[in-house]
Amino acid sequence: MRWLVGLLTGVAIGLYANDVIAFPDGAPWGAADPKSPKACTSCHFDSDPVASSQAITMTGWPARLASATAVGLTIQFTEPNAEIVGFEIASGSGAFALGQRGVEVLGPAARSVVPIVNDDGVSWQLNWQTSEPIEVPIVFLVAVLAANNDESPFGDTVHFRSFTFAAVE
């Protein structure tokens, strides 16, 4: 009987470990869109997501925007209950360029690949290049995972917010 308990425990740990390391390099591309089947909530479903989260802000957008312009954007997240956080952003046009360490880019999307300890808020600096010609409005979808650092998908909260910009030259 002990062998059966040991076997079942081993299987349970193996299944749990697969969930924990399902995406060791960051969320799958497309996770920033709350309507996507790849959204953060597909794995982190324990609590309701926060739509239009005021804990997410984005700064750095210029008053006027010209074609082929590089824009330095900062995403900030302030949620005191999160121990570690990660993010993904996707834009409908343009492309992100490598910038901050621990952030990976793929054309119009960027994501964190290393969780950051939440110490009175976190921020990420990103470089974004407009497309040519500029397609307006420009919409950015942002998802931030506020995790409890227990290495499981349980007890975490996903925050979503979109930002729309239309000011062009």
- In the chain, what are the domain boundaries? 26-165
26-165: what CATH class? mainly beta
% of the chain surpassing 90 pLDDT: 52
Specify the pLDDT at position 151: 86
Does the pLDDT at position 123 exceed 60? yes
Pick the range with the lowest mean pLDDT from 56-60, 87-91, 94-98: 94-98
Please say whether the beta carbons of 123 and 75 come within 8 A: yes
**Angstrom distances, CA of residue 159 to CA of 2, 23, 141:** 44, 18, 11
Which pLDDT score, from 0 to 100, does residue 24 have? 67
pLDDT in tens, 125-144: 999 998 878 878 899 999 99
pLDDT band at 169 (very low <50, low <70, confident <90, very high): low
Q: Give per-residue pLDDT as tens, 2-12.
A: 544 344 334 33
Contact 125, 64 (CB under 8 A): no
Looking at the whole model, is its pTM more than 0.85? no
H helix or E strand, kind and range, residue 10: helix 2-20
Instruction: Provide CB contacts within 8 A for 83, sequence distance 6+.
Output: 117, 118, 147, 148, 149
**Residue for token digits 């969780």?**
115
How confident is the model at residue 67, as a pLDDT?
Answer: 77
Look-up: residue for tokens 């600096």? 125
- Most confidently predicted of 62-71, 84-93, 97-106: 84-93
Cα separation of 99 and 39, whole Å? 24
pLDDT band at 168 (very low <50, low <70, confident <90, very high): low
DSSP code per residue over 35-96: TSTTSGGGT--SS--BTT-TTEEEE---SS--TT-EEEEEEEE--TT-SEEEEEEEESSSEE
Cα distance between residue 13 and residue 105, in whole Å: 33
| Segment 32-77, tens digit of pLDDT | 999 999 998 988 888 999 999 999 999 998 887 877 788 999 999 9
